[in-house]
Homo-oligomer: A and B are copies of this chain.
Amino acid sequence: MSLLVVGSLGLDDIETPFAKVENAVGGSAVYISLAASYFSPITNLVGVVGEDFPQDYLQMMRERNIDLDGLQIIENGKTFRYGCKYSYDMNHRDSLFTDLNVFKDFNPIIPQNYLSTRYVMLGNIDPVLQLGVLNQLDGKKLVVCDTMNYWIERMNKELKETLKHVDILIINDSEARMLAGEPNLIHAGRKILEMGPSKLVIKKGEHGCLLITDEIIFAAPAYPLENIFDPTGAGDCFAGGFIGYLLKNDLIDNNALRRAVIYGSVMASFCVEKFSVEGLLDLNYLKIHDRFLQFFTLTHFEES
């Protein structure tokens, strides 16, 4: 069983109230793949970098069974770069710069040996490219998709076309309100389910997330961390843990979905505890399962 991940790879400059890093590995495909690597035996990554992307990072991914046959390395090209600065309370970030570089002309071509991948995670990229990926695949069982306000505003029609082919959409609360044109989140969720996805996860940052389907609503808190060092990549780690858990058991019923939301939240909590991808590098099944159980303690009450 393998997972296909399509998204960005980049080099990030991140400043928080606690520290500052430059040229840290980043991008949605990197965070998703690293988080999923604790669940998925093999992760097939499709993306693009320039020649300046450090070999160490590629090696680090290969060591985690992340297959890079689908990674385009553009000769003389420069990798996508992003810089941001977080406010004191970490709830707000200002983008300082976005240099698309080789990502500007990214055309995801799915290698032959990836074409029958059953679990597909579409990171936050142009919805036309996302649909292009889906059209190349056969035998899809589950398509999970992320997007953002940029695409909702500027490529609304194209995004809605892509959503018709998506099983689970994962977006944040302001994006859900924007996409549905509706301030009440539950109303917004219902409207989005009419656009195509049969399931929706609405991420609310430090306030946790909501899973909304035709059958259930499930609410999960965020893990109550005392030290949040860098929120970058948290949403992508959520997605990686979420789809990774579903793939691991190859089962998508309500119980599995609820647990997948928690495993996603677990991976997001590890992500934000350290800078860049550092929080994702030294995990193992026991650490992950232990935090899963802490989520149980955090939310459990006696029914009677």
Contact = CB atoms under 8 A, between A and B. Distances in A.
Interface of A: 88-90, 177, 183-187, 190, 204, 206-208, 210, 216-221, 224-228, 255, 258-259, 261-262, 293, 296-303
14 contacts: A88-B183, A184-B225, A185-B206, A185-B224, A186-B226, A217-B298, A219-B224, A219-B298, A221-B221, A258-B302, A259-B302, A296-B301, A299-B299, A299-B301
A262 B301 contact: yes
A187 B226 contact: yes
A207 B207 contact: yes
A54 to B, nearest CB: 33
A17 to B, nearest CB: 9
Contacts of A90: 183
A235 to B, nearest CB: 17
Contacts of A259: 301-302
Contacts of A224: 185-186, 210, 217, 219
B225 A219 contact: no
Contact of A216 (B216, B226, B261, B297): B297
A177 B91 CA distance: 14
Contact of A207 (B186, B204, B261, B262): B204
What 5 pairs across the A-B complex have the smallest Cβ distances? A219-B221, A207-B207, A89-B183, A258-B301, A186-B224
Contacts of A261: 301
Given A88-B183, A204-B207, A206-B185, A299 B219 contact: yes
Contacts of A183: 88-90
A182 B49 CA distance: 40
A177 B293 CA distance: 28
Given A190-B226, A219-B298, 12 more contacts: A88-B183, A184-B228, A187-B226, A208-B219, A216-B297, A255-B302, A258-B301, A258-B302, A296-B301, A296-B303, A300-B300, A300-B303
